[in-house]
Structure 1
Amino acid sequence: MWEFLQHMSYWDWLALGVILLILEVFGAGGYLLWIGMAAAAVGVLTFILPQMPWELQFLLFGLFAIATALYWWQRQRSAVRQSDQPHLNLRGQELIGKVFLVHEAIVDGRGKIKVADSVWLAKGPESPVGTRVKVVGQEGAVLQVEQAD
């Protein structure tokens, strides 16, 4: 094994890079992609400079792997940005502050309100059908309402 590591050719580095890229397909989150690219880069350098000592090859692989992993980490952090639609896919949150009609009377704190073409469960004060209520909060699929002015 030691003998193999001391005499790695560019094919070995390229094969390592391909293996890491294949493993990336199974869901490593991008990190094996960049480490595989580091192995491929060392393979290319070993092809260009075939007399490169094995110690330098492993040192370059380590440096490239760390540099590319840090690059990926930094890129992932900078990719997080604030949405211009923060309530997208949080439909109940976008309803807060809006006024709707009671669809099914709110009795014992429970009832239903009509929101566009759907009906939502509502929690709030006793209200007969047709009463205007304002959404003030959300607990899962249940909207918290209060009497509208």
Structure 2
Amino acid sequence: MKIIATNKKANYDFFILEKYEAGIELKGSEVKSIREARVNLKDSFVKIIQGEAFLFQAHIATLGTTNPYYKPDEKRPRKLLLHRKEIDKLFGKTQVAGMSIVALKIYFNKTNKAKLEIALAKGKNLHDKRESLKGKIQKREIAQSLKEFYKK
């Protein structure tokens, strides 16, 4: 599994509850752009419209070698390929519990197909974000002190 891009902001802004793997409906030049890691998932999110899942605000840059008459929009909505039961489950949880569906990372699986890892997430409050930052800093300090201790 070769990870192309990750959404670090999603882990900062949300509590991740459940993860799903989804295929993406792409144009030919977009696949080449993903292979060159010209992808940004920073503000991307998933919405379910008429029983189908779509990825919004994911930026996949066009290549310089792409035909100028055939350049898909870089931030166009992209259809996600999920099972019907998964879509229904995600739709139900987002409607009732007020949760969001966010994109976490894009990668190529063993069979060289582009896959997107999406997650059912609940938003963090400001104090939750501060606590996660404190925990991250403490873990870094502990690791650094252990490294210095074993170095001696």
Structure of greater relative contact order (alpha carbons < 8 Å, 6+ residues apart): 2
The structure with the largest strand share of the pair is 2
Task: Give the structure with higher Rg (CA).
Answer: 1
